[in-house]
């Protein structure tokens, strides 16, 4: 499924246009992706699209709140991934709600572990699909030396 997210990013992110599911599904099939993978990716993107419908809870709005990861989250992210999210939040690139959206999106993947490069892609996808402005310096950091970005 990560390959599909890379494809969606590479083909639609720069234009700022996100196609409807029928168009996206046709493009993915034309690119040779398997029907099961396409369905899973579209479900994951639907999940990401619905994250902001949940609203922000009072707990997340407190600056002194501490987030403890579950064992499943620790296993999926690893120390590097968690460190990267903490870095983004401590530098006010992400707020607590966005961090939770990203964690929910990571946990929604079918991978047992998500490396930092894939986490950067997920951060981009979540912020893009939530229509949050992406700072140019953040974009450069997220894309710097990524072998999955088409040159």
Distance CA 8, CA 48 (A): 14
Q: What is the pLDDT of residue 59?
A: 46
Q: What's this model's pTM, rounded to 2 decimal places?
A: 0.70
Please name the residues in contact with 72: beta carbons below 8 A apart, sequence gap of 6 or more. Answer: 107
**Which H or E element spans position 45?**
helix 35-50
pLDDT band, residue 70 (cuts 50/70/90): very high
Q: What is the pLDDT of residue 139?
A: 63
Task: State yes or no: pLDDT of 96 exceeds 50.
Answer: yes
Task: State yes or no: pLDDT of 61 exceeds 60.
Answer: no
Distance CA 91, CA 93 (A): 6
pLDDT band, residue 117 (cuts 50/70/90): confident
């Amino acid at each position: 499924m990560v390959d599909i997210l890379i494809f969606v990013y590479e083909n639609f992110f720069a234009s700022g246009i996100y196609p409807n599911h029928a168009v996206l599904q046709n493009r993915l099939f034309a690119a040779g992706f398997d029907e099961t993978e396409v369905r899973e990716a579209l479900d994951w993107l639907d999940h990401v699209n619905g994250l902001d419908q949940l609203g922000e809870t009072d707990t997340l709005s407190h600056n002194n709140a501490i987030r403890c990861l579950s064992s499943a989250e620790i296993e999926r992210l690893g120390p590097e991934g968690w460190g990267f999210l903490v870095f983004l939040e401590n530098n006010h690139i992400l707020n607590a709600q966005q961090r939770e959206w990203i964690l929910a999106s990571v946990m929604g993947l079918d991978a047992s572990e998500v490396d930092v490069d894939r986490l950067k892609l997920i951060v981009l996808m979540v912020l893009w699909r939530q229509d949050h402005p992406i700072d140019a310096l953040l974009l450069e950091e997220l894309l710097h030396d990524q072998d999955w970005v088409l040159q």
